[in-house]
Amino acid sequence: MLNHSARAIRDGVASGQFSAVEVCRAFLARIEATNPSLNAFTLIAAERAIATAEAVDRRRAAGDPLGSLAGVPVAIKDNLCVKGMRTTAASRILENYVPPYDATVVERLEAAGAVIVGKTNCDEFAMGSSNENSAFGPVSNPWALDRTPGGSSGGSAAAVAACCTPLALGSDTGGSIRQPAAFCGVVGLKPTYGRVSRYGLLAFASSLDQIGPMTRSAADAALALSVFAGPDRADATSAREAVPDFAKAMTGTVAGLRIGVPRTFVNDGVNEHVRQVWDRALETLRGAGATLVDVELPHAKYATPVYYLVASAEASSNLARYDGVRYGYRTADANIGVKEMYCRTRDEGFGAEVKRRIMLGTYVLSAGYYDAFYLKAQQVRTLLRRDYDSAFERVDVVAMPTSPMPAFRLGEKTADPLQMYLGDIFTVSANLAGLPAISIPCGFVEQAGNPARLPVGLQLTGRMFDEATLLRAADTYERITDWHTQSPQL
152 catalytically annotated:
yes
- At residue 425, what is the residue type? I
**Dihedral sign from CA coordinates of 125, 129, 133, 136:** positive
CA-based torsion, 11, 171, 200, 222: positive or negative? negative
Measured between alpha carbons, how far is residue 483 from residues 34, 167, 477 in Å? 22, 18, 10
CA distance 405 to 300: 18
Catalytic residue among 19, 130, 153, 176: 176
Backbone angles phi, psi at 456, to 5 degrees: -125, 140
Q: Which of 176, 202, 85, 133 is nearest to 350 (CA)?
A: 133
Phi and psi for 250 in degrees, rounded to 5? -85, 85
The catalytic position among 134, 152, 156, 171 is 152
How far is it, in rounded angstroms, from Cα 445 to Cα 450? Answer: 10
**Sheet containing 73-77: which strands, arranged edge to edge?**
41-44, 115-120, 73-77, 167-172, 210-215, 187-190, 437-445, 454-462, 397-401, 258-261, 291-294
Q: Is the Cα torsion angle 350, 356, 359, 360 positive or negative in sign?
A: negative
Give the DSSP letter string of 446-459.
--TT----EEEEEE
Among 19, 68, 77, 91, the one annotated catalytic: 77
DSSP 248-274: HH--S--TT-EEEE-HHHHTSS--HHH
Residue 248 a catalytic site member: no
Q: CB–CB of 171/210 below 8 Å? A: yes
Task: Name every residue whose Cβ is closer than 8 Å to that of residue 473 and which is 6 or more positions away in sequence.
Answer: 254, 257, 259, 285, 290, 397, 460
d(CA 136, CA 86): 13
CA angle 193, 198, 204 (to 5 degrees): 90
Instruction: With beta carbons less than 8 A apart as the criterion, state whether 324 and 349 touch.
Output: yes
Give yes or no: 238 in active site: no
Cβ-contact 177, 424 below 8 angstroms? no
Enumerate the active-site residues: 77, 152, 176
